[in-house]
Amino acid sequence: MAIPKNVLRLGFCALLPLTALAGDATSFSALMPYPQELIRHQATGEFLLSRDSTLCFHQSPGARLQAAENRFRQRTERQTGISLPAAARCHDPEMAKRISVIELALTSDGAPPKTNALSALGHEHEAYQLEINPHKITLSAAYEEGILHGLHSLSQLLGIEKNDDIALQPMTINDQPQFRWRGLMLDSVRHFLPVDTIKRQLDGMAAAKLNVFHWHLTDDQGWRFESRSYPKLHQTAANGNFYSREQIREIVAYAFERGIVVVPEIDMPGHASAIAVAYPRLMSAPGPYSPEDRWGVHKPLLNPANPEVYTFAEKILGEVAELFPFEYVHIGGDEVNSEHWQSNPEIQDFMQARQLTDSHALHNYFNTRLAEILAKLDRKMIGWDETLHPGLVPSAAVQSWRGPDALGEIARAGHFGILSTGFYLDQPQYTSYHYRNRIIPEPLDFPAIETDEQWQRWQFSAPRKRGSPVSGTFMVESTEGHLRGVMSFTGKTPQALHNIERIGPYTVFTLDTWMGPLRARLLLQDKTLGGEFVVGNAPYHPTGERLAGSQKESAVPDFANSQLPLTDTEKSKILGGEAALWAEMVHENNIDLRLWPRTFAVAERLWSGNSLQDEDALYQRMNAIDHWAATAVGLQHHTQQLATLKKLFPENLQSHALALSAVLEPAHYYHRHHEKSANETYSRRDPLNRFVDSLPVESAALQPLRRFAENLPEDPQAVIDLEPMQAGLQHLWRAGVAAETVLQQRDGLPAEVRKLAELTQQQMELGFLITARWQDGVPFSPDEDSSIREQLNAMKGMHGEVVLPAVYVLERFMDRLQYSAPRTDKPGAKNKMENQHG
């Protein structure tokens, strides 16, 4: 099925980019991932789904299609109240009497693809066509996977309105995925996930058209895979939790029914503390070893010089191949601390005898042995970035957590590559950041600097509470008032800066980094650097100095060869991407809250490609998907939030707790991890039942206000639609009122909740004060400005691992008000809520 990319056909002649309809407030906006092609017909009438409608199969369905049809009917009843009868055969004479029929048709004449092979993923194997006319809906596909995907699209079109009949406009959808590997990794090691919890996430994956479940089963903190050959592995697992062979088969079958393959990850040679506890004789250092419940990178490594290690690998991987039919097995291979290898004389002799020059060569030797074992089992190896070494077996695929540079290296080396950087969902981030993530690495487009242009190059270092500082350099260049720039983080290729401005004494810019979205607000004075990098929604405070500039006799920076574009052949090696949910801060009671609905945005990037870029439309459609996912699919992101709040607040404060939560966020990126590392145990002993654990990743209530502030025009006379700002202020006001009620009944509430309520009130008051003056266009006096900024600065950062995101928005209003040219008229009417607040 040949499908044009990047277009949506409206009627029979209009040809529009996909973004043109993405923000349309119709049922089409609820489709996510958005289809490659949608043709809206101008036929008279609509298809009416009612209790008199029915489904039918053109051919005798297999067990998987029968189960999918049954799930579709169940979803339809949950979301619309309409109960449909079980599907019949379309050639049944009774079908001719039906007013409205949904036909399901398989069109392939050939043999079905081998379902345990990479070739069965993506493109034509998952394509489908959905045709809706006033009398009939026809869903057709060459293979079963296409029917599964098409049923979810049809379910989304039905919406969640409960009526006697549901009207659908005539249209044709031609759809297939842009990338074949569209995955989600769940970590069952750090916090064990019950079988029902995993099944629910598989339901969510299927709804989002994701097709690879990467199951992280072993790590330092435990071994969750039942082994017959080495039973101490799961018997010594933390809390005694592991998956039996029967449970694993159950989950693999459940995934297959929904068009999802399962890739198990069995970590070797590192992340091996659980192996060390059970079988210390396999390790590179003598121990003793104790069960590990701390997070982070630990030292135990399997001993590549010990023949028994390869016997262990053969038996374990044989058990894995028996239970997991997909052709790829993930061996981890990441974060190998070579200290135990270097200090072991036996291993050093082993390396010398085989002319292995360093630990990287030894690691590659070990990986080669694993690949050989897997090949005998008719399996292929996949590992993280660190497995990429010269000589890696050609059949091995590599998953990148290091970013576009590493993904480019993987493709140039001739290996299949999968991107996870930018899709780490355990690092809370704004959904728009994940949505901007590009799968294919792109070279830097930065025209050369001319010798007469003004530029400065700065060095920076931003300390973190855990790990090394974030360091690097950046350059800002000015030509006739136009600013452009480049930032180079240590060890990474340069990136172009975006939205560069000079606002008063500050230099401001943004860019997306491996840490998340970064917004710099820097004081570049004389030769020193200060200010802040807001990474996600919490700040780092860099220091630095000027290295060079056009006023000195310095070489002009040249970024022309910093990145090489990939060839078409190399691009074809990039299979797609995979969202990752590591479980240091995730367990069964908040996993849905962390994953949904934002995983739909990642799924859309992987399914639809880069054609959709409208972030405002993204949020509008995600809001519709949010409710559909909870109602039709049964995802529990709303109920999990309510359950946590119920444990923290008395019943009479539940609604106030929700209003308060609406304007707060958990600290993004790894800010929470670093905070726990500095102040707690940074382990499974740290509780995940606090107020911060009840918060959605992103404040949906403040999203329009944040987007509004990000796009404030420099021109003070520009005409501005104030509705997003007014909506945000209304939520701030509601949260402030709720905070007041909470504080009136503060006894028995956690201290962090009381503090957040006080800060929320202060945030509300500053919000109305600042935005009212911004609308009037009258700057504050120097003393007022100093006082307000002092209050804003005190509210920044983490408060019990919680962030008040509106603080940074209000600071932008302050900067624009205080440092822009004065207005001669007002941009719009003041928010009505201002008078209610008084």
Contact 727, 774 (CB under 8 A): no
> Residue range 435-454: average pLDDT?
88
pLDDT higher than threshold 80 for residue 826: no
Predicted pLDDT of residue 108:
81
What would the pLDDT profile of 725-780 be if each residue is shown by its tens digit?
Answer: 999 999 999 999 999 999 999 888 999 999 999 999 999 999 999 999 999 889 99
Residue 716's pLDDT is what? Answer: 66
pLDDT at 9: 25
DSSP string of 308-330? Answer: HHHHHHHHHHHHHHHH--SSEEE
Q: What is the pLDDT of residue 823?
A: 59
What separation in angstroms does the CA of 220 have from each of 142, 217, 237, 274, 675? 44, 11, 10, 5, 21
Domain ranges of the chain: 7-175, 181-439+569-580, 454-549, 636-837
Per-residue pLDDT tens over the stretch 161-184? 999 899 999 999 999 999 999 999
The sign of the dihedral angle between the CA atoms of 176, 181, 187, 192 is positive
pLDDT in tens, 655-672: 999 999 999 999 999 999
**Residue 458 CB neighbour total at 10 angstroms:** 24
Looking at the chain, the number of H-run helices and the number of E-run strands are 26, 33
Query: 181-439+569-580 — its CATH code?
Result: 3.20.20.80
* Furthest CA-CA distance within the chain: 88
Phi, psi of 211 (to 5 degrees): -130, 0
Beta strands in 768-819 (DSSP E): 802-803
pLDDT digits (tens, 9 = 90+) for 670-710: 999 999 999 999 999 999 999 999 999 999 999 999 999 98
Share of the chain above pLDDT 90, in %: 79
Mean pLDDT of 381-392: 95
Q: What is the pLDDT of residue 239?
A: 81
Helix (H, G, I), strand (E, B) or coil at 676: helix
Predicted pLDDT at 5: 31
Nearest by Cα to 89 from 62, 50, 68, 59: 59
Give the number of residues written for the chain. Answer: 838
In whole angstroms, how far apart are CA 142 and each of 113, 157, 465, 835? 10, 22, 53, 61
Percentage of residues in the chain having pLDDT higher than 70: 92
CA-nearest of 501, 465, 470 to 485 is 501
Averaged pLDDT for residues 107-111: 72
Q: Which residues of 665-696 are buried (b: 16+ CB within 10 A; e: fewer)?
A: bbbbbbbbbbbbbeeeebbbebebebbbbbbb
Give domain 7-175's CATH architecture: 2-Layer Sandwich (3.30)
Which of 145, 219, 512, 532 is catalytic? The answer is 219
693 is catalytic: no
Residue bearing the bigger pLDDT, 826 or 58: 58
Question: Is the distance from CB of 827 to CB of 718 less than 8 angstroms?
Answer: yes
Q: Compute CA distances 708 → 151, 661, 740, whole Å.
A: 36, 21, 27
Per DSSP, the three-state class of 667 is: coil
Mean pLDDT of 315-328: 98
Of 547-551, 642-646, 829-833, which has the strongest mean pLDDT?
A: 642-646
Over the chain, what is the mean pLDDT? 91
Catalytic residue among 165, 335, 405, 409: 335
Instruction: Give the per-residue pLDDT at 833.
Output: 36
**Catalytic: which of 125, 271, 298, 415?**
271
Nearest CA among 579, 565, 564, 622 for reference residue 597: 622
454-549 in CATH: which number?
Answer: 2.40.128.120
Q: With bands split at pLDDT 50, 70 and 90, how would you rate the model's confidence at 488?
A: very high
Higher-pLDDT residue of 815 and 239 is 815
pLDDT at 261 over 60: yes
99 falls in which pLDDT band (50, 70, 90)? low
Judge whether 219 counts as a catalytic residue. yes
pLDDT above 70 (res 22) = no
Is residue 154 left, alpha or beta, with left meaning phi > 0 and alpha meaning psi from -120 to 50?
alpha
Same fold, 181-439+569-580 and 454-549: no
Whether the pLDDT of residue 653 is over 70: the answer is: yes
Q: In a 10 Å sphere around its CB, with 0-12 CB exposed, 13-18 middle and 19+ buried, how is residue 327 labelled?
A: buried
Tell me which residue has tokens 């991107």.
419
Which amino acid makes up residue 157? Answer: L
Confidence of residue 110 (pLDDT cuts 50, 70, 90): low
Residue 17: is it exposed, middle or buried by C-beta count within 10 angstroms (0-12/13-18/19+)? Answer: middle
Closest CA to 647 of 596, 685, 688, 701: 688
145 belongs to the catalytic site? no
pLDDT band at 1 (very low <50, low <70, confident <90, very high): very low
Q: Comparing C-alpha atoms, which of 664, 517, 686, 662 is closest to residue 585?
A: 686
Helix (H) or strand (E) holding 230: none
